[in-house]
Amino acid sequence: MRKYRLRCTGCGATFPDDGVRLDCPNDHAAALLRTEYDERAFVVTNEASINRYGAWLPRGRDIATAAQTAVYRSEALGRRLGLDELWISFNGWWPERGAALRTATFKELEAFAVLARLAPDESRTLVVASAGNTAAAFADACTVNDVPLVVIVPANAFDRVAAIARIGPTVKIVAIEGAEYEDAIAFSRQLAAEDDFILEGGVRNVARRDGLGIVMLAAVDTIGAIPDYYFQAVGSAAGALGVREAAHRLVGDGRFGRHVPQLMLAQNAPFTPLFDAWSVGAPVLIERSVADAKSQIAQIGAQVLSNQTPPYAIAGGVREALSESSGTMFAIENNEMLDAMMLFAELEGIDIDPEAGIATAALMRAVAEGSIERDRRVLLNVTGGGRAGRARETRDARPALVLDRAEAAAVGNDAVRSVLFSSRM
C-alpha cells in the first residue's frame, strides 16, 4: 500500500517507511523527514472526506473517516478588508459549508493521517501529548478506528477534550496536575521509550504534516491555483510546514503555479518564540527562563499556541520555510484576537477559536499596514471553529489516570500500564 518513500532534509538519504519512523538513521544534526510520493501529479478521488487526497497521504492502512475541510471565497470579510480574493479554509464544524471536523479543529486532519500511516499489523499503543485540540482529535479518531491510544494532557485541558471528543474503550487520557504542555511532552517521551508504546512524534511525524497539508490541497482543489499569501496562527508550526510541503508538490505538478505561498504566520503575545527569533534574524530560538515562559504562557488567550520548542532552526523547519517564501511573523495581542473573533462571527456568521482569531488579526494588521497586495490570492486558515454548533458530549467523562508531575516522572509508566492492563481484563 505504501506508494512513497521518506527523504531526510539533512543528508538527502531516502528509505522505505515503517509507519512510525520519526528521524533519519544517519549520524548528523537533527533534520525533518519528508515524504516523496510515486504519484507526482495532483489527483483527487470522488470521496467526500480527506481520503479524497489519499495519493498524497502516507498510507499504510485504510482508516474510517468522514473528516472534511471546506474552502470558500469570502464575500463579507473580504469586502471589509478590501481584498479581491480572500479565500477561507474553514477547519471545524460547519456542515452547511461542508466542513465536517467533529472536534472542530484542523488537528483532526493530522490525527487520521497519522493513523493511516501505521502498519496494518501495528499493535503497540500510540502515545500523544497535547494541550487540548490534538488530544480531542486523536481521541476521537482512535475511538472510531479502535486504535489503542494514551493521551497525555495538562489536567486543566481535560474538560475541553471531553466536551468535544468521543472517548472509547481503546483511549486512555492521562491528566497531569499542575502541568503545562512541555510537561505532557516530557512524560509522553518517557512512556514511549518502552517497547510496547509508540511516540506519535508531533511535527517530526511526516503524516502529521502531510495531513495538515490537506489545507493547501483542498484550497487548490477549490481555487484552481496556489494562493499568493497564507495566514495561520502557529505553535509548533506543523500546519505551516505541511502547507509548504504540499505547495511544493503542487508546484511540481506544474498546473497550479510556480511559487509557494508567502507564509504569514502569527503567535499570541507575549509568548512568541518564533516571532522573537525571526524578527531579529536569530539563527536559533532565543533562550528564555522557565519562569518567563510560564508567565508569558499564562497571559495568552490562545493556549494551544504554547509550544516552547517549535522546530525553528532544524533542517526543513520554520526558519527555512520563512526564508524561502519571504515570509513574515506577527505578534498578536489578546485584544486584537478578540476583536478579530467578533468581526469574523459578525461577517462570516460562525464562531472561531482563539488561535483562528490570532490568524485573522494578523490578516487585518497586514492589510492595515499595506504589507500584502490586495488584488492577490489570500488564503486564511481558520484552524478551529464552529464549537457553538457542536453538541457537547454529555457522558460523565473522567481521565483514566490523574498524576502530579512528580508522580509522572517517578511511577507514571507503571501507573499507565496498570490502567491499560485493568481495562483489558
- The amino acid present at 289, given as its one-letter code, is S
- 45: number of Cβ within 10 Å: 11
Q: Model confidence over 351-375: pLDDT tens digits?
A: 999 999 999 999 999 999 999 999 9
Q: Which residues contact 412 (CB under 8 A, 6 or more apart)?
A: 174, 187, 190, 191, 403
Q: Are 18 and 119 in contact (CB under 8 A)?
A: yes
What confidence score (pLDDT) does residue 159 get? 86
Q: Model confidence over 199-218: pLDDT tens digits?
A: 999 999 999 999 999 999 99
What confidence score (pLDDT) does residue 163 get? 86
- Segments of the chain scoring below 70 in pLDDT: 393-396, 423-425
What confidence score (pLDDT) does residue 89 get? 98
d(CA 137, CA 172): 13
Under DSSP, is residue 99 helix (H, G, I), strand (E, B) or coil?
strand
Three-state SS letters, 122-169? CCCEEEEECCCHHHHHHHHHHHHHCCCEEEEEEHHHHHHHHHHCCCCC
481521541: which residue's cell?
139
d(CA 425, CA 420): 9
- The amino acid present at 41, given as its one-letter code, is A
89 burial class (0-12, 13-18, 19+ CB within 10 angstroms)? buried
Q: Are 178 and 402 in contact (CB under 8 A)?
A: no
Q: Which domains are seen in the chain, by residue range?
A: 70-102+208-388 (3.40.50.1100), 125-195+395-423 (3.40.50.1100)
Long-range contacts formed by 75-81: CB under 8 A, 24+ apart? 76/347, 76/348, 77/343, 77/344, 77/347, 77/348, 80/343, 80/347, 81/363, 81/364, 81/367
Q: Are 128 and 207 in contact (CB under 8 A)?
A: no
What confidence score (pLDDT) does residue 398 get? 85
What confidence score (pLDDT) does residue 44 get? 96
- 33: number of Cβ within 10 Å: 22
What confidence score (pLDDT) does residue 394 get? 55
What confidence score (pLDDT) does residue 419 get? 86
The C-alpha angle with vertex 413 and arms to 199 and 236, in degrees rounded to 5, equals: 35
What confidence score (pLDDT) does residue 412 get? 86
500546519: which residue's cell?
239
What confidence score (pLDDT) does residue 181 get? 85
What confidence score (pLDDT) does residue 396 get? 63
